[in-house]
Structure 1
Amino acid sequence: MDMALVFLFPLLGLLAWSIERRIQRVSSQISRLECKADLILEHLGIHEDTTELARITGLARSGQKIQAIKAYRELTGDGLAEAKAAVDRLVAGS
């Protein structure tokens, strides 16, 4: 039993490190894509409606998460799962 633990812990550590690296890589790729999207939007003269996003964030922070998700779906046309994830990110990022 002890020998199994000797091999299991380093293996779990290596697995956790590998997952963390992948997450960092994907996060970096997302950041680059967001920058590119911002440049494209700026070039096209399209501006995000930050006041509506602020209202949605305010709804979510005040415990009205369902209303925030509904408002986000109306604003973007996203599905329920995407809107929930986006509202969660808005709250976590603020």
Structure 2
Amino acid sequence: MDIAILFLTCVVILGVASIRNHLSRADRRAARVERKLDAVMEHLGLREEIPGRDEILDLVRRGKKIQAIKLYRENTGADLVEAKQAVDRLG
């Protein structure tokens, strides 16, 4: 019985490790595609349309960076790191 539990535990651990590895590779591929898309947009002179951009810029200009990041996240659904980077680029 103890050997069966140990075996099942090992199988679960290996399964979780495999899933993490696949997710990590997918994240790296998505990041690479996003960097390429950003480069193409920059080359073409295009910029991403940000909902509420004027209001976010106003917050940045008034020194309310945290509120600007929060508003960016609310408007775009971005995570904290992405929102901070975007607001930094705007400011």
Band of TM-score, shorter chain: 0.5 to 0.7
- AA partner of residue 8 (structure 1): L
Task: Give the total of aligned pairs.
Answer: 70
Aligned to 1:5: 5
1:24/1:6 CA distance change after superposition, 3 Å: same
Aligned to 1:48: 48
Aligned to 1:37: 37
Question: Structure 1 length normalisation: TM-score?
Answer: 0.58
RMSD: 2.8
Alpha-carbon distance between aligned partners in 2 of 1:91 and 1:13, rounded to the nearest angstrom: 30
Aligned to 1:21: 21
Report 1 or 2 for greater relative contact order, CA contacts < 8 Å, sequence distance ≥ 6.
Answer: 2
Alpha-carbon distance between aligned partners in 2 of 1:38 and 1:32, rounded to the nearest angstrom: 10
Unaligned runs of 5+ in 2: 57-67, 85-91
Aligned to 1:91: 80
Does the Cα contact within 8 Å between 1:41 and 1:47 map onto a contact in 2?
A: yes
Question: Structure 2 length normalisation: TM-score?
Answer: 0.59
* SS of residue matched to 2:79: helix
Does the Cα contact within 8 Å between 1:57 and 1:90 map onto a contact in 2?
A: no
- AA partner of residue 33 (structure 2): L
Alpha-carbon distance between aligned partners in 2 of 1:11 and 1:37, rounded to the nearest angstrom: 39
